[in-house]
Chains A and B, each alone.
Chain A
């Protein structure tokens, strides 16, 4: 059977807490091909081309005149994600336009790293879609993200991506473990 080529594999949506996400500095591509995906490297040691976050939308803003886009802040137990949706993400933009903060939202999007001329970094999420969810989904996400983060920390130094992370970040796994613990502890209240 030679009929099937290598099937297209959609990039998985990584689970990452806001405090780790904002530490992203390094991005890379696997090949020079125009269509090859760009990955952001998470400090805990995994490539990320897409992410799934659930948190509280606390604020949204419409910006631009000709090219309208929306910005929003989504808060998780460890910090804040900055999300954007412009005319290239029509679905997410229209959804965001409708949602009134505060609300629990699930966001699927791509990581975006921008270095300002003065050398500081703006790390944000370019949303592909946003939907309103409930508190239970948020709690499930915290568990899920804690588990995924701990899995990465446990495997740190053994995988190809985590070796790359060792080169590019000053990783202290214990600090991240602490963050995970704090995030989980907030669920008990």
Chain B
């Protein structure tokens, strides 16, 4: 936004009311506010506009004169005026926030926050409002509409249905989105405030989701397609996740063939790293960190009531690339035929303790060929399935043909 645009807008508005005004006068007033007093341009525009309106005894000219913008095109760092429908309201998490939720028009939706200090009128669910001079900033990587004391809110008398369009999961980016998905994995919540967490997917891919406990919030059912409207896509550590607390989700007919984002790798297990085998985990809810041998958690200090777990941190190597891989308890038990209970009893009764479990697992797995599928996080493959490779005579025949194909 620059001064000359503001001059244009002000003079336009005044001329539309049948009055005439000197553009240079507008410009010099604006410049004075902006350059001498350090007022930002939209605030200066508002001040000059209301001054002039008073001087010319004009009514019905609102203080700010920003153009109406489409919600789908807002980017952080702008002062904007939008008209939209409140499609979601979220309970406030802090005293300094009066109201927050999602406002949408035909082009898109954005999260909004009304600061308590703004003393703005309370907006109602499913009603249309014109919001003038709000600020778009960025919150957790997503655009966010901030309603402050300089913002004006006017209820609009219209009721146009807003129909959000669905975004394929692989095209999601931080912000508000609607998706048509099915639940793929239901994980055990690690936090008592969490109602449900897991993986959702459509044909294009999968994404992690979370529903926090809240009155009236329901869990998603397995094997059901949902139309989820106005969920928040957050970015954390470069990964996206979907928060459904702002969303409305409705079961729908039909089925979805969820696209796989899993990676499959076959190779030899060439390294089993320290920290594999029997480990102790922090019992504090939501922590689950690995404890040192002295039962020390990096966050919760000494935890004598740890729980045991089995895992393998290894390297699966196909001769071209060495890939870090993590096998969880169920896979370790399956591949080594050593159960967690056996491992605990070995650790407690053997002079080598937990090392003995490590050696047994190493002897069972190291140097053998496996095929594993799983998802890749942080340069590591978290295996969901893993099986030992077996000799395939057809492969031998193919290779013999390749080697002897010409002149052999």
Contact = CB atoms under 8 A, between A and B. Distances in A.
A129 B391 contact: no
A118 B336 CA distance: 49
Contact of B238 (A1, A108, A150, A185): A1
B403 interface: yes
A52 B317 contact: yes
Contact of B404 (A11, A128, A139, A181): A181
Nearest to A150: B402
Given A143-B396, A150-B403, A13 B390 contact: no
A63 interface: no
Contact of B318 (A12, A131, A150, A178): A12
B337 interface: no
A131 B366 contact: yes
Given A7-B379, A106-B268, A137 B396 contact: no
B391 A139 contact: yes
B389 A140 contact: yes
A13 B268 contact: yes
Interface string B297-341: 000000000000000000101111110100000000000000000
A71 B318 CA distance: 27
A115 interface: no
A14 interface: yes
B369 A108 contact: no
Interface in A1-41: 1, 3-4, 7, 9-15
Interface in B379-401: 379, 389-392, 395-396, 399-400
A187 B389 contact: no
A140 B369 contact: yes
A127 to B, nearest CB: 11
A140 B369 CA distance: 8
Interface string A94-122: 00000000000111100000000000000
A147 B395 CA distance: 10
Contacts of B322: 9-13
Interface string A130-145: 1111001101110110
A106 B395 contact: no
Interface in B344-375: 362-363, 366-369
A146 interface: yes
Contacts, number: 99
Interface residues of A, number: 44
Nearest to B368: A137
A164 interface: no
Contacts of B366: 106, 129, 131
B270 interface: yes
B408 A13 contact: no
Contacts of A174: 407
B271 interface: yes
Contact of A143 (B237, B363, B395, B408): B395
A139 B402 CA distance: 17
Interface in B146-202: none
> What class of interface size applies to chain B in its complex with A?
20 to 34
B403 A144 contact: no
A82 to B, nearest CB: 18
Nearest to A145: B319
A100 B38 CA distance: 84
Contacts of B392: 143
Contact of B270 (A3, A52, A133, A178): A52
A3 B408 CA distance: 54
Nearest to A104: B367
B270 A184 contact: no
B403 A187 contact: no
Contacts of A10: 271, 315, 322, 324
Q: Which of B270, B271, B400, B406 has the most CB of A within 10 A?
A: B270
A13 B402 CA distance: 23
Given A131-B363, A131-B367, A137-B369, A146 B403 contact: yes
Contacts of A180: 399, 403
A116 B280 CA distance: 51
B320 A12 contact: yes
B101 to A, nearest CB: 28
Q: Which of B268, B400, B407 has the most CB of A within 10 A?
A: B268
A62 interface: no
Contacts of A13: 268, 270, 317, 319, 322
A106 B363 CA distance: 11
A132 B363 contact: yes
A177 B403 contact: yes
Given A129-B271, A144-B369, A15 B403 contact: no
Contacts of A131: 362-363, 366-367
Nearest to B268: A52
Contact of A188 (B238, B268, B363, B396): B396
Contacts of B390: 136, 140
A23 to B, nearest CB: 18
Contacts of B399: 143, 146-147, 150, 180, 184
Contacts of B379: 7
Ranked 6 nearest A-B pairs via Cβ:
A106-B367, A181-B403, A10-B322, A131-B366, A180-B403, A131-B367
Interface of A: 1, 3-4, 7, 9-15, 50, 52, 54, 105-108, 128-133, 136-137, 139-141, 143-144, 146-148, 150, 174, 177-178, 180-181, 184-185, 187-188
